[in-house]
Structure 1
Amino acid sequence: MRFVDFLRATVLLSGGAATTLAVLTLIAATRDQDDTVAMAATVWWVVATLVGAWVGRRNEVNPPIARLLADARAGTMMPDIRPGSTMVNRLWPLLVAAIAAAAMTWVGPQIPGIAAGFTIIWALAWRRQEHAVQAIEERDGVTFFVERTSPVRPMRLLRLPGFRRERPTMNGSV
């Protein structure tokens, strides 16, 4: 799976988890007729949105991703493209946290509400990383792929030759 596609899917899945947890929070709060929980959760989501927007405001690659790109292993053959298994393999902590928070709704609607805030921060903090990595790929003429590793081991990337993008300058030279 291409790394830029993985980053895009991560943001979308985090946003989907946040939406699901927020809906569960509001359903549980209205079922219990607890307006204070709904209002507190809404305030937390607004704060989480501001924090996530602040953290993800830069157009540069985050330091952890920069290290991951720098440590990418050079390759000559495309790896197996298995987006489903790659997503489950790398994003299982998000899946487990979302399911656990959703299951804890019966204990109290605050739990999925708090988890929704953290997934909002995560989605917004990573929202520009896809474009930053894509710019590096175009500049260097490479394509990064997620290597298949154990789910408990750190992620590794494979760097393959790609297409370099030449941009003309003001004087017409490339």
Structure 2
Amino acid sequence: MRKMVLVMAMALMSAMQVCAQSTKVADKELIGVWMLEKMQWDGEKLRICGKASGYTQFKYYGADGEYACAEIALSKEGKIVVLPHEYGTYTFKNGVYSEMGRPAVKPEEMMMIDNTHFKGRWKNLNQEWVKLTELPNKVVRYIVNCCKYKDTPADVQQTIKQNMFK
């Protein structure tokens, strides 16, 4: 009888583990603000981002496909520095992800773990992200706008060239 109970318990645990592993996170869970939590270049040690390192990254995924990415650093003087990386669009449908019009990535290169964590791989860098649910909209919009305006308009570039780089 003991053996039968043990076998049944093991079978139930295996079935629960398979169910937990196959739980699919809804695509809409990507919508929101994400912060780089950990990163590791191939052959290097794991780096924890945030307060301890004074460095992280910010990604914003809007419900309408709006996308923004920035690096965020803490200077030696204690000031926050926002370094806009890119601004554009993303798609995420049935677990297939693409940003900035680039080809879709393989599922293992961008995978939702649960509603508040995703992991990804870009070239030779593994990343782990955590969702920020309490960042005020004023801050989110500021960083998104920094990314939006990182590319200097052509007419402004021309005027700067003519007046400052004669």
TM-score range, shorter chain: under 0.3
Larger radius of gyration: 2
> Which one has more relative contact order, counting CA pairs under 8 Å at least 6 apart?
1
Normalized per residue, the structure richer in strand is 2
TM-score (ref. length: structure 2):
0.24
| TM-score between both structures, scaled by the size of structure 1 | 0.24
Structure in which a larger fraction of residues adopt helix: 1
